[in-house]
Amino acid sequence: MILQKRLMICASAMAVMAGTAMPAAAAPWVRGYVVGQYEYAFRYGGRPDYTRGAEIEPGVDCPHGSSIHFANGEQTKIAVARQKFRTQQEIDWISAPPGLDQVRAPVLTRFHIWNRAVAYRAYKRGIETYVNPWAADDPGQPQVTSRIGDGFNLDGKVKAADFVSPDGEKGIDNNLYRAWGCDAPWRGNGNATLDLRANDKMQEGLYTMVIRVSGNKDPMNDDDATFEIGYSPDKIVKDARGGIAVDYSYRILTTAQYTKMKAKIKNGVVETEQVERMHTPRIAWFYDQTGDTNFAKGKVRLNMSADGLSASGLLGGYRDWRELYTENTFAQDGGQQGIREHEDHVSLYFALRRNADGMYNAKTAKYDGISSVYRIKAASAYVVNPENPKMEVPKLLLDEERKQAFEAIKANTIRGAETRIPQPVPPGTTEAAVGSFEHDIVDLPNKEFYIKTLDRPHYANEDKDGIPPWMRRRRGTSAPVPATPPAAQPAKPQNQVSIEKPTEVASAETK
């Protein structure tokens, strides 16, 4: 097929050179693409001559630096010292656990102590921080100060705080970049940690996104085109060099994570209409996170190459900022993300809420959405309808327990943010190093101190070592996962700490 296209192009060129101009005739046409790169449309303000190894410089867009929370003991010490209920011994022993040289796995032991500690730093003991970030003080998130940003004018207004696009368009709305653009794992010149992770997982088969553009005039200039974007159940095919192979066939589902829009094309640039709801697959690096972006006021701009072999562009709209928070925080658990990825989701929570600018909620008099723009690069493909038009997004049965646990913790987080009533961590997750903390401190000389100091609400059916049943299942030490996993129903904490009816609700916003 590629050879056939090349021959057609060559034949056309030879005909023109021979003076036999071929008449332009309107005819139905279709171009398909499979997305190979999918990431938040954050810009990188670094200098091209920056040569300090793998270190990411602050950049002109982030002069105050990037997030570095929990990268080391000093950062952890600063974080836990903010809790008034912590004693000096607790602060010192958490940040630098004595006796680490006597354990079999010192790095893991320290990691899970820090994980448990930063997961419980609200205004009183027993309130899990990442499910209830509003119950902690805002540590402060460095935010983008640049005026240059990629995206769209989603609200039709030009405001003083809006970005200006690289080509000079004013009124660009992309407050997700403003809030998260200085977050360490999303920064880099094409090599940001979480961008690489998400794209790698997508290309390895976690999910697939495809695009289909069609019309009746010229693919490069058509004022009455149709644009479709959605999920495909078919895994991405790679070429021998590890790139995205061109001209393979992919099905596009129209039952979920799919949107069809009117579009206009000028000189190969596709501009879609702005629709009330735009559904596409969302960025994910675990099955838990996969699902629907569900943009409000969504639209797409796509630049197609003349030969039809590639395309790149932007898609965006307003996304519920609480969903964005949960998708990133609970991909694994908040502590893991904070320690390994050098970010603090409490800071991110406040930054997202502070920069929310869309989806006005009359009941709360606040915005539920934040303007968000994603960047895509795609290769040519044949995008076809499935034989069964009612085909749904396939489920990974072995990961459904984790998926349901993710949905449960997401629901509790949003409920807590709305009501300011602390919510428990539902069963089925690894949040707050559940199981791992108990397992990895067994060799520590002062383990009883940590078990008492870093206690947590407990679940039904934990074993004598504090390992909950879902952790035992995943380690293969108990019965298989049932058809209806317990993660679907949140469990009530069993220990002496009550988080159902707090005597006070104190946070940075109410102090």
Mean pLDDT throughout 130-152? 94
pLDDT, position 47: 63
Rounded-to-integer distance, Cα 83 and Cα 274, Å? 46
101 burial (CB, 10 Å; 0-12 / 13-18 / 19+) is exposed
- The band of 494, judged by pLDDT with boundaries at 50, 70 and 90, is very low
184 burial (CB, 10 Å; 0-12 / 13-18 / 19+) is buried
Considering the chain, what is the average pLDDT of its residues?
86
Rounded-to-integer distance, Cα 349 and Cα 130, Å? 9
Q: Looking at the predicted structure, is the pLDDT value of residue 297 above 80?
A: yes
Which amino acid appears at position 123 of this protein? Answer: Y
The larger pLDDT score, comparing residue 509 to residue 392, is at 392
Which amino acid appears at position 101 of this protein? Answer: D
Q: What percentage of the chain's residues is helix, strand, coil (to nearest 5)?
A: 30, 20, 50
pLDDT, position 65: 81
Q: Looking at the predicted structure, is the pLDDT value of residue 502 above 60?
A: no
- The band of 70, judged by pLDDT with boundaries at 50, 70 and 90, is confident
- Sequence length of the chain is 511
pLDDT, position 21: 45
Report whether 35 contacts 375 (CB < 8 A). Answer: no
SS (H, E, C) 379-411: EEEEEECCCCCCCCCCCCHHHHHHHHHHHHHHH
pLDDT, position 474: 79
pTM for the model: 0.86
Q: Looking at the predicted structure, is the pLDDT value of residue 501 above 90?
A: no
Q: Report the percent of the chain where pLDDT is more than 70.
A: 85
pLDDT tens digits for range 421-434: 999 999 999 899 99
How far is residue 505 from each of residues 132, 221, 457, measured CA to CA in Å? 11, 58, 19
Report whether 343 contacts 282 (CB < 8 A). Answer: no
pLDDT tens digits for range 342-376: 889 999 999 999 999 999 999 999 999 999 999 99
95's tokens = 């940040």
Mean pLDDT throughout 7-13? 40
Q: Which residues of 392-410 are buried (b: 16+ CB within 10 A; e: fewer)?
A: ebeeeeeebbbbbbbbbbb
Q: Looking at the predicted structure, is the pLDDT value of residue 318 above 60?
A: yes
pLDDT tens digits for range 247-270: 999 999 999 999 999 999 999 999
pLDDT, position 48: 60
pLDDT, position 478: 53
Domain ranges of the chain: 29-62+146-394, 73-140+420-488
pLDDT tens digits for range 383-440: 999 999 999 999 999 899 999 999 999 999 999 999 999 999 999 998 999 988 988 8
390's tokens = 């009612």
Rounded-to-integer distance, Cα 303 and Cα 325, Å? 30
Rg (CA), the chain: 25
Mean pLDDT throughout 165-169? 94
At 183, is the secondary structure helix, strand, or coil?
coil
* Ramachandran category for residue 365: left, alpha or beta (phi over 0 → left; psi -120 to 50 → alpha): left
Q: Looking at the predicted structure, is the pLDDT value of residue 498 above 60?
A: no
- The band of 58, judged by pLDDT with boundaries at 50, 70 and 90, is low
pLDDT, position 57: 60
Q: Looking at the predicted structure, is the pLDDT value of residue 128 above 70?
A: yes
At 303, is the secondary structure helix, strand, or coil?
strand
- The band of 46, judged by pLDDT with boundaries at 50, 70 and 90, is low
Report whether 207 contacts 231 (CB < 8 A). Answer: yes
The per-residue DSSP string of 21-35 comes to PPPP----EEEEEEE
Rounded-to-integer distance, Cα 404 and Cα 422, Å? 21
Report whether 119 contacts 129 (CB < 8 A). Answer: yes
Q: Within its chain, how far is the Cα of 485 from the centroid?
A: 25
Mean pLDDT throughout 283-292? 95
266's tokens = 């000028």
pLDDT, position 15: 41
The per-residue DSSP string of 238-253 comes to B-TTSSBPSSEEEE--
Mean pLDDT throughout 486-506? 38
- Terminal Cα-to-Cα distance of the chain (whole angstroms): 66
Q: Looking at the predicted structure, is the pLDDT value of residue 481 above 80?
A: no
How far is residue 157 from each of residues 149, 162, 169, 172, 273, measured CA to CA in Å? 16, 9, 12, 9, 17
pLDDT, position 68: 78
